[in-house]
Amino acid sequence: MKPWMKMVTGIIYDDRYLQHKTGHHVESPDRLIATMNLIKEMNLLESSDFTLLEPKMATVDEIKWVHDEDMIEKARLTSLKAKGGKLQCLDLGDTVLSEESFDVSLLAAGGAITAVDAILEGKVDSAFALVRPPGHHANQFRSSGFCVFNNMAIMAEYALLQENINRVAIFDIDLHHGNGTSDIFYDRDDVLFFSSHQDGRSQYPGSGFPDEIGEGKGEGYTVNVPLAPGAKDDVVQEIFSQIIKPVFLQYDPDFILGSIGCDAHHGDPLSGLAFSFQGYGNYVKGFKEIADKCCNGRVALTLEGGYRVDNVAKIVVNILHALAGKELPFVEDATASGDNLKAYHRKLMKTLKKNLGKLWTF
C-alpha cells in the first residue's frame, strides 16, 4: 500500500449471530451486543476508516473442507433437537446449541470467508469478523470448547484456494490453546500456526506445549507459546520480538489470519493471564506491521473467546483501531511482570529456539 492511500478496515457482523442462544452460558449473545453498542457509541460506522460488511452463509460443502461429514450432521441434528427452546449440548457437554445454532454456525464460518473475500476484492485493507459461535477448539471430528465449526480453519482453507495465495500464517491469541486449528494443520507446511495461551498444565484444553511443533511435512510450522499464569504485556512483547516476528517474516506468508480471544485480559472471569486493553492492540499492530512487509497488509481476524462483555467490546475496538493504523482509544495502567515471570519466559524462549532452530533462524 502506498503511504498516501487511506486504509479501510472491514467489520463483519450480522444480528443473526445473536440467535445462537446459550441460556446462562458464558459464551452468550451479550458479548456481541456490548461490542456493537460500543462501536456505534463511538461512531465507528460513520467513520471513513471503517465499513460494515454483511457475512455470507457458508455452504455445507465449505464446512467439509475442514470437518468430517458425520460431525457436521451431528451438529445439524442436535440443533434440530433444540426445537421449542430445549437447549442441547454437543459432544463433551460444553458446547450449547439452540434451534438456530446450526444455521448461525454456517453464518459464522461464512463471516470468516467474507473477511478474506473483502480484502482480496479490494473493498477493505483488513477485516475483523465479529462472529459467534467461536471456532478454534473444533477439530476435524469434534465440536468442543463452545465451538461448533472451526471458522479460522475454514477461513484459511478458503484463502489457500484463491489465486496467488500459497502460504497462510495464523496467529491465535486467546487464554486457551487453539487446539482444533492446530490439529487440523499439524502436518502441513502451507499453514504456519502460532498460538500464545495460558500453559495447558493450568488451563483448558491441556495442550499447546513447546514441543508440539508439527509433524511430517508440517514439522516446525506449529509454534506454541504456553504463558505462565500472570503473564503481562511486557512478556508477550518480548516473545513477539524474539520468536514470533522472526518466524513470520521468514515464512513470508501471502495472507495473515488471526483468532482473537479476549479472555487473556486480566479482568476476564476465566483468565489466569494479565493482558491489558492496549496490550491486545499492540499485539495485533505487530502482526499488521508484518503483513505490511510480507503481503500488502492483508490481515483478517475472527473472534474467539472473552467473557466479560464490557472488556470484550473495548478490546475489539482497540484492535479495530490497530488494524486501521489509529491511536488506541482504551489505555489502562499496566504494570510489568515480576522477575520470576520474566525469568520463566526467557527460559521458555530458549526452549522454543532450540525446538524450532532446525527450520528458523533466531
Catalytic residues: 137
Number of other residues whose CB lies within 10 A of the CB of residue 235: 27
Contact 150, 135 (CB under 8 A): yes
280 burial level (CB within 10 Å; 0-12, 13-18, 19+): buried
Which bin fits 96, alpha (ψ -120 to 50), beta or left (φ > 0)? beta
CA-to-CA dists, residue 59 to 50, 96, 222, 315, 319, angstroms: 27, 22, 28, 30, 29
Measured distance CA(214)–CA(220) in Å, rounded? 6
CA-to-CA dists, residue 329 to 38, 47, 324, 332, angstroms: 12, 15, 12, 10
**Strand, coil or helix: 240:** helix
- Write out the three cell numbers for 265: 485480559
SS3 for 242-302, per residue?
Answer: HHHHHHHHHHCCCEEEEEECHHHECCCCCCCCCECHHHHHHHHHHHHHHHHHHCCCCEEEE
Measured distance CA(169)–CA(191) in Å, rounded? 6
Rg of the chain in Å (alpha carbons):
19
352 burial level (CB within 10 Å; 0-12, 13-18, 19+): buried
